[in-house]
Structure 1
Amino acid sequence: MKPLLWTVAVFLQTLTGSCGSGVQFTKHPSNQTVSQGNEVRLGCAVEGVTEPDIVWMKDGEKLYSTDQVFLILGEQHWETSHSVKSVQQQDAGQYWCEVEFHGLTFSSQRAWITVEGVPHFTQEPQDVATFPNTPFNLSCAAVGPPEPVEVLWWLGGVQEGEPQQSPSVLHVPGVNSSIKFYCEAKNTRGISVSRTGTAHIKVLPAAPAALQLLRTTGNNITLSWKPGSDGYSEISHCTIQVVRISGRRWALPPQEVPVPPYKHTLTGLRSFSNYSCRVSCVNEVGPSPFSPWLHFVTPESVPSAAPRNLSFQLSEQQLFLQWARLKEDELQGRLLAYKLQWTHGGEPQEPLLFKDNTAQISGGGRFFNASIQVAACTAVGCGPWSPPVLVLPALAQVQVQRSHVWVGLLLGLLVATIVGLLLAVAAQRRGKETKFGSAFKAPGPETSVFFTAARSFSRNGNDFHESTLESLCISNELKNKLQDVLIPERLLTLGHMLGKGEFGSVREAILKREDSSVVSKVAVKVLKSDITSAGDIEQCLKEAAHMKDFHHPNVIKLIGVSLHRRHGQRLPIPMVVLPFMKHGDLHTFLLLSRLGEEPFDLSLQTLVQFMLDIARGMEYLSSKSIIHRDLAARNCMLDESMSVCVADFGLSKKIYSGDYYRQGSVSKLPVKWIALESLADNVYTTQSDVWAFGVTMWEIMTRGQTPYPGVENSEIYEFLIKGERLKKPADCREDIYEIMHRCWSPVPKCRPSFQQLVTQLEALHLTLTPTTPLKEPLLYVNLEEDNREMDRGGAVGPRILGPEATAEASSWGVPWQRGAEDEEDWLMVASEAAMAIGGDYRYIVGPCGAFAEEGDEMRSTGGRGALGNRVLGELRDEEDDAVINV
């Protein structure tokens, strides 16, 4: 019994801060009451522990202090303190210290710090929205210590009533215009003033803005818009007015839409019709003005009716057919052709296509006793078939009428039997033929297309329509800006894939003039073919609009914009035409200098020249109020003269007011290049571009290494907030590292401007010992042979050019930029009629702009080789590491 009691005593001793180990607190923090702004210090001492880790606690949370000092009072006897030099109300609370020993936690006695000062508010008056002359109440509460606290109200700059004990409620009988108000809290220490609130008068909301077409699905159109100011009253719903324009205006019943979200799908619209719509939003005061009208055209569909009044005239030489045209509402699209199918002896024959509603077919005798049907076809498909018509000669019809009664009965019975069989076959065929996608194929063995009819729908004919900016759902301002740089699609011939990303790809292309007198090589940036969002298309065109105004040797310039018309899609794919950068991107070039099969040296003067080119380009962009937001070596290109051009403005923003841009939506951002304040608050300025420029300088000095090796994307912010930065690269001069390090100042205004960076880099460039210029032949790495050899598909390894090859040194490139992709080339040239009948009239663009047979593409492009595959793998790894969803 005694050992058990002794064990319990030891356990209780441990819980109270002392045990058989000798751990005990010899000094405890004491309660203190101090005035706001004065210093306070708490002390704590523990005995019985060697080098203890004494932790201060406040209200159950650990206090982290970088200047905590431990004093040695004796062997295994330690003292520490916690002090606040200027105590504030938030420092008030319960404090104690803890120490761990052998897995047990020992705590000192607890003490309170009470802060006396001017009152602090626990409830401040909030903004109010009210109708004119309607009563409302305002509330205000504040506490000390010291107590008591009195509250005094101010309304419209005039004192309201006498001071009241906190908390206080002010009754306002009503106002007829907006008015400001606040409250004052007073105790023996002083006076505190609350936030200033506003009493708003409820009014009608403002007109909605940015009404746009969000999505098109069949005959359903999804609209989105942004509400105007709510008039200080919550918007309950919005009203959509829709008008169909077909010779005259047909107003549809208005639709009330609950909000949010501020979008709605209009259903049951007619195909291929002109519509206009506008939106008004309603709060408890009433409806807002309407937004501007939005005009749009619904997509095409298959015709809804069959051609009527099919008639014929048959002779031995020819068959003449005629039928009535469909009405515009029945056609539901642009007429491509009339499709005629006929059966003879119960066997389906080869279908024919006709442009007009009449047809003359030679060899009329072969159509005797044939059953004929006609359907109208648009780019989407064919509509229903007309009732079958049996073809008989006129003479046979007269003889039948004049024959004896018994002959007539027999012949009538025979004709009725044949017609019945044909109707049964036609009814079965009709169910199949009107399904989308199978309307142009006849049952049974595949047959060829009537050549004469198909020829009139070739790409070179008059039926091919170039896409215009009017077919896009973009603002008029953007249309006007791009109108003079629009390039017809027929002047572009796409070739190899040079690279691709999340939203599109870059292709090598051939651009010719209208008269085909001049042909030049360009690069074309296109959206992915499966992207149909009007927002993605507008973002791509906005990037082009930015580039249109750029005129600087170190900023990539815009050649033009083209629109690729897609079969079955209302919106074309935008293509941004840029100069062809023969030597690729700077990051790939730097990687090649380290990782190529035959690495080559880049002099310090060359590397500094790269930095200077980028700084000059960014100085120009900043002077145009452009924030790039994605500056990195991978987005800088090398032209024929090895000058660096800043490119890829997919994330760039034009600053229209102020000097910063706040990112408001979720997007992929290059975390390891983003400034500290941008990671914290999504705020981007020219100074944040300077930060990215410093990282780009580090990339250049390391020949393409990934920044912050060993640090994950998710750890970057914590890494930087501790004051850590990129380390000085090996063989990097101190003055160069000093320039890039100043770019990473935590205070944006302390970073150098691009103008200062240009001046510093120019001075640095002049001090370097002149070495072999970059344009010397020995610095060129030839990665492709003669154009003829590339056309034969030979994969050529790198070699160093000697002086005798200077004249040929201007045609080198990077092999993985020239290699063909495994995916099928999406740009197929085809006539709409060929698409409609299911034929395969495709011309695949070859690697050098010539037409190649399908299946020869890989043979004509050559392989990447081991070097290309290895460096491509590293490039993809670094690209994946470069961005993260923020």
Structure 2
Amino acid sequence: MNLSVWVLLFLARSRGGICGSGVAFTKHPTNQTVSQGNAARLGCAVQGLTEPDIMWMKDGEKLYSTDQMFITLGEQHWETYHSVKSVQQQDAGQYWCEVEFHDLTFSSERAWITVEGVPHFLQEPQDVSTLPNVSFNLTCAAVGPPEPVEVLWWLGGVQEGGPRPSPSVLHVQGVNSSVKFYCEAKNTRGISVSRTGSVHIKVLPAAPVRLQVRMLDNNVTLSWKPGFSGYAEVSTCVVQLSRRAVQRWDLPQQEVQVPPHLQVLSGLRSHSNYSARVSCINEVGASPFSSWLHFITPESAPSSAPRNLSFQLSEQHLALDWAGLQEEQLRGRLLAYKVQWTLGGEAQEPLLFKENRAQLSGGGRFFNASFQVSACTAVGCGPWSAPLLVLPPVEVRDQRSHMWVGLLLGLLVATVVGLLLAAAARRRNKETQFGSAFKPPGPESSVSFTAARTFSRTSAELQESTLDSLGINEDLKNKLQDVLISERLLTLGHMLGKGEFGSVREAFLKKEDSSVLKVAVKVLKSDITSSCDIEQCLKEAAYMKDFHHPNVIQLIGVSLQRRPGWRLPVPMVVLPFMEHGDLHTFLLLSRLGDAPFSLSLQTLLCFMLDIARGMDYLSSRSIIHRDLAARNCMLNENMVVCVADFGLSKKIYSGDYYRQGSVSKLPVKWIALESLADNVYTTQSDVWAFGVTMWEVLTRGQTPYPGVENSEVYEFLIRGERLKRPSDCREDIYEVMHSCWSPVPKCRPSFQHLVSQLEALCLSLSPAHPLKEPLLYVNLEGGEGGGEDGARGPEMGGGGAPSWSVPWQRQPETEEKDWLMVGSEVALAIGGDYRYIIGRCGAPEEEPMDPLQVRDDDDVINV
């Protein structure tokens, strides 16, 4: 025999139960026919193994039993049984035993268990949807044993014919109303009844419901939920659209294949009233239309420039007129007409007008000026009209032409005389940067100084601005009247921070007792200032006017700065000067500054507790901050955190915002889930932002959701993801933080509860010490060191409060004595447009760079 024959013989013996190893089955299971509900028992014995693991198999699958027992019949001889106490149809099948030995599997002979009982169904009749009086078939199949099995049909409670062999198909000629049906399967053991099915008559579908419109940028998407289908598949829907202007304008209807049940509506006019309704169609016909859904499309910038720009000029006035835009050209709600003009090739300050006409005083100053006009909506301004050149009337030009000839001749004579005098002077003297030094004959030189520029300190100053000159509402004016500070009492210093809409400057305020107070001043940029900008800025000041809490920044006053040539004054909000700046920069510098320093967990908890107390105060006064973040919290000289920037922060700081439209911004990574979805802000959404601020504090200023783009934040949160626990953050602190991010706003803790939790955490860290632990920093403000290297702890001022300083805010060892404080009349004389401080070299101080040059510009998305 060859090798393959030996292998086949070996496998045959092993499958048969005998092999050279001595393993053999001495008992095999036998075929059994059992009535349903009775017991069945199969036996199996194997010889040749010390402790065999005999497994029972059914139809190729292992049977797992917790009560299987092995009986010893002799040395290396074992028997086991498989028992079923109450046999059911699912127990019918093929059974055998298997045992493994040296990676070989040995099997017993196979046996069948056949279950006799009432028939069981292989196919039960299913529901039917049909048109009236259209024939259809019903199918029913059942088996034994015992066989044969007969089927009897019942339709509408009436027996249909006699018994039929299984499987059975019932042909129904048609019905005109819904009926119930079922089948019975019968053998010698009994009867089984199938499920009850229904015959549904197909009808028209019901009207769609829950119509919704979603507007994103210029895309309008209409969606709906299908109504009752009418027992027939709905494959098409019809969308009807009409525009409401002076009269209703029906647009061509659109046919949509469904699902999905939505349609992108294209070609719609901006800022227009539309109505939409939907009907869906099945094979019977079309459903009734849904109710009309009324909506207004988003605004856009105007599509056309105003036409027919004309002027009328007199010595006293210049009147401009132009044609207003039609509704379809305007594409939004008109905010103003913007007029820009140039004179002598230089652009002048643009002007805004509510009507399509403008009356400008001082007509003579507009000679040879060029004007253009554009219409503006909330989204932006449209195209500019063609330039219009303002020229005097013909008779005026003729009169003035003679005057110009005389002026030109006089100018020519003066130029010639000046050149002759200059040539003679160059022979007798030499120029200096300050004037002319004449050198007479003799051993010594006498110097005569001629000033390069002069001005009169007695010249008339600009008239000081009042709240009446701003055009704001009376209520706001009355609220701010008692906090108005004269511009003469303020002297602006170097810039502390700068953003897209304004800046924050250090300043000095002269008080009534002639003492000087160091303050911080928020100033709007002049080139974007309008009545709306001013009113928005002053509304924040009105909010802050009534705040009195150690953890909420308090308003000192409001000042109005008048500038030469500007129509409106620039508002300035005067606030306390915060020694250590904003909390975000402070945290960053503790990690990444030139001289990093450590902040203990107790100190960080105190920062969070200060913010929670401030927000608890604001929420108790029904104030919603909407922009709570570490960048909008300030740190004073006593290391106390104050909540700041109640609305004005959206105009000053430019990082970490999501731009909506063209002006508003949202701090995406600090905004609550419901605010991102529905643009709704509550105290609970401020609690969410507080949780993110806690994360900022514990990570020492890291950007939230690292690696997640602003456009991905909503999808990230809706999946249930949240900010991860920072390293070295205790679990109990993270639980407080995480509770602020509940998807259900009502489940978030209140600020009052957060204050209690944080106070308990602070006490648990160091119950025997005060909450504000002293920090050791280098303090050079006093010019004296506490030791040889000048390092010392906090000093106590006259009032007993500690005086703090940090390494990156070191002051010069000697106080500057030669600052020139420039008054408004001097600024006018030297051509400046700003009150400022001259440095020691006579030049304005440069704007300071960010110490880390770290900005979160990547978190800004323009849409």
- What TM-score, normalized by structure 2, do the two folds share? 0.51
Which residue in the other structure is 1:334 paired with?
Answer: 333
CA deviations 1:753-792 (Å, max 9, x no partner) are: xxxxxxxxxxxxxxxxxxxxx99998797699679999x9
Aligned to 1:267: 266
CA distance in 1, matches of 2:3, 2:528: 110
C-alpha displacement of 1:48: 2.3
Aligned to 2:245: 246
Distance 1:126 1:508, change over 3 A: farther
Distance 1:454 1:396, change over 3 A: farther
How big is the shift at 1:145? 1.1
Query: CA shift at 1:138, angstroms?
Result: 1.2
Correspondence list, 1:387-466, <5 A: 387-395=386-394, 399=398, 449=527, 451=529, 455=533, 458=536
Alignment CA distance shift 1:154-1:277 (3 Å): same
The offset of 1:133, in angstroms, is 2.1
What is aligned with 2:302? 303
The one-letter code sitting in structure 1 at the alignment partner of 2:200 is H
Find out whether 1:519 has 2:621 as its counterpart: yes
In structure 2, the residue corresponding to 1:254 is in which secondary structure?
strand
Identify the residue that residue 38 of structure 1 maps to in structure 2. 38
Identify the residue that residue 573 of structure 1 maps to in structure 2: 679
Deviations 1:600-631 (A, max 9, x none): xxxxxxxxxxxxxxxxxxxxxxxxxxxxx99x
Does residue 201 of structure 2 align to residue 201 of structure 1?
Answer: yes
CA offsets 1:786-837 (integer angstroms, 9 cap, x no match): 79999x9xxxxxxxxxxxxxxxxxxxxxxxxxxxxxxxxxxxxxxxxxxxxx
Alpha-carbon spacing, 1:234–1:855, altered in 2? closer, same or farther (3 Å): farther
Which residue is 1:90 aligned to? Answer: 90
Cα distance, 1:5–1:449 mapped onto 2, change above 3 Å? closer
* Cα deviation, residue 361, structure 1: 4.1
RMSD over aligned Cα atoms: 5.1
Q: Which residue of 2 aligns with 1:374?
A: 373
Verify: 1:108 aligned to 2:108, yes or no: yes
Partner of 1:880: none
The alpha-carbon distance between structure 1 residues 651 and 56, as it changes in their structure 2 partners (threshold 3 A), is: farther
- Offset of residue 350 of structure 1: 4.7
Tell me the SS of whatever aligns to 2:394.
Answer: helix
Alignment partners' CA distance in 1, 2:30 and 2:684: 74
Name which of structure 1's ranges 240-249 and 154-163 shifts more when overlaid on structure 2: 240-249
Deviation of 1:302 (Å): 0.8
Give the CA deviation at 1:336: 2.8
1:459-608 mapped onto 2 (5 Å cutoff): 509=615, 519=621, 567=664, 573-578=679-684
Q: Cα deviations across residues 314-347 of structure 1 (Å, max 9, x unaligned)?
A: 4455543222222222211222332233345555
SS in 2 for 1:252: strand
Aligned position for 1:638: none
Q: Which amino acid aligns with 1:263?
A: L
Aligned to 2:189: 189
* TM-aligned CA deviation for residue 129 of structure 1: 1.2
Q: Residue type of the partner of 1:43?
A: G
The answer on 1:176 being equivalent to 2:278 is no
Distance 1:781 1:194 in 2: 75
1:309 match: secondary structure: strand
Letter in structure 2 aligned against 1:449: D
Q: Which residue of 2 aligns with 1:70?
A: 70
**Alignment length (residue pairs):** 510
Are the counterparts in 1 of residues 301 and 376 from structure 2 also a CA contact under 8 Å? yes
Asked whether the 8 Å contact 1:88–1:115 carries over to 2, the reply is yes
Query: Residue 459 and residue 136 in structure 1: after superposition, are their counterparts in 2 closer, same or farther (change >3 A)?
Result: farther
Work out whether residues 509 and 524 of structure 1, in 8 Å CA contact, stay in contact via their aligned partners in 2: no
Q: Distance in 2 between matches of 1:2 and 1:776?
A: 85
**Residue 288 of structure 1 aligns with which residue?**
287
Which residue of 2 is the match for residue 436 of structure 1?
A: none
The answer for unaligned runs of 5 or more in structure 1 is: 404-439, 441-446, 465-494, 500-505, 528-563, 593-628, 635-642, 655-703, 705-773, 793-852, 859-886
SS in 1 for 2:259: coil
**Corresponding residue for residue 128 of structure 2:** 128
Cα separation, partners in 2 of 1:205 and 1:21, compared to 1, 3 Å: same
Question: Quick one: distance in 2 between partners of 1:191 and 1:173?
Answer: 27
**Does the Cα contact within 8 Å between 1:508 and 1:524 map onto a contact in 2?**
no
Distance 2:223 2:851 in 1: 43
Q: Percent identity?
A: 61
1:33 maps to amino acid = T
Q: Any conservation in 2 of the 1:526–1:575 contact (CA below 8 Å)?
A: no
After superposition, the C-alpha distances for 1:575-620 in whole angstroms (9 at most, x for unaligned) are 23359999x99xx9xxx9xxxxxxxxxxxxxxxxxxxxxxxxxxxx
CA distance in structure 2 between the aligned counterparts of 1:312 and 1:95, rounded to whole angstroms:
106
Q: Which residue of 1 aligns with 2:456?
A: none
For the 8 Å contact 1:219–1:268, the answer to whether it is kept is no
Q: Output aligned runs, 1:2-13, within 5 Å.
A: 9-13=9-13
Tell me: CA distance 1:783–1:454, structure 2 relative to 1, closer, same or farther (3 Å).
Answer: farther
Partner of 1:228: 227
How far apart in 2 are the matches of 1:526 and 1:142? 71
Cα contact 2:306–2:322 (8 A) shared by 1? yes
Matched to 2:679, the amino acid is I
CA distance in 2, matches of 1:777, 1:386: 65
Contact kept in structure 2, 1:43 and 1:81, CA below 8 Å: yes
Using the TM superposition, give the Cα deviation of residue 357 of structure 1 relative to its aligned residue in structure 2, in angstroms: 2.7
Matches of 1:245 and 1:523, distance apart in 2:
39
AA aligned opposite 1:87: V
Equivalents in 1 of 2:361, 2:774: separation in Å?
53
CA change 1:59–1:339 in 2 (3 A) is: same
Structure 1 residues 612-761: aligned runs within 5 Å? 650=743
Aligned twin of 1:421? none
1:496–1:508 CA contact under 8 A, matched in 2: no
Residues 202 and 9 of structure 1, relative CA distance in 2, 3 Å threshold: closer
Task: Tell me if the contact between 1:325 and 1:357 (Cα under 8 Å) persists in the aligned partners.
Answer: yes
Instruction: Report deviation, 1:251.
Output: 1.9
C-alpha distance in structure 2 between counterparts of 1:233 and 1:19, whole Å: 66
Distance in 1 (CA, whole Å) between partners of 2:295 and 2:346 is 45
Q: Is the 8 A contact 2:618 2:624 kept in 1?
A: no
Indicate the residue corresponding to 2:828 in structure 1.
none
Counterpart AA for 1:63: L
- 1:460-489: CA deviation from partner (whole Å, max 9, x where unpaired): 689x9xxxxxxxxxxxxxxxxxxxxxxxxx
What's the offset of the Cα at 1:387? 1.7
Q: Is the 8 A contact 1:510 1:521 kept in 2?
A: no
Residue 567 of structure 1 and its aligned partner are, at CA, apart by 3.1
- Which residue is equivalent to 1:709? none
Return the offset for 1:2. Answer: 7.7
How far off is 1:22 after superposition? 1.8
TM-score w.r.t. length of structure 1: 0.50
Q: CA offsets per residue over residues 368-387 of structure 1, 9 Å max, x none?
A: 33332211122222211112
Q: C-alpha separation between the residues in 1 aligned to 2:745 and 2:339?
A: 55
Structure 2 counterpart of 1:567, one-letter code: S
1:719-774 CA distance string (max 9 Å, x none): xxxxxxxxxxxxxxxxxxxxxxxxxxxxxxxxxxxxxxxxxxxxxxxxxxxxxxx9
Distance 2:81 2:199 in 1: 50
Answer whether contact 1:353 1:454 (CA < 8 A) is retained.
Answer: no
Further displaced range: 234-243 or 68-77: 68-77
Counterpart position of 1:418: none
Distance 2:192 2:99 in 1: 40
Distance 1:459 1:194, change over 3 A: farther
Cα shift at 1:20: 2.0
How do residues 728-807 of structure 1 correspond to structure 2 at under 5 angstroms?
Answer: none
Residue matched to 2:139? 139
Helix, strand or coil at the partner of 1:100: strand
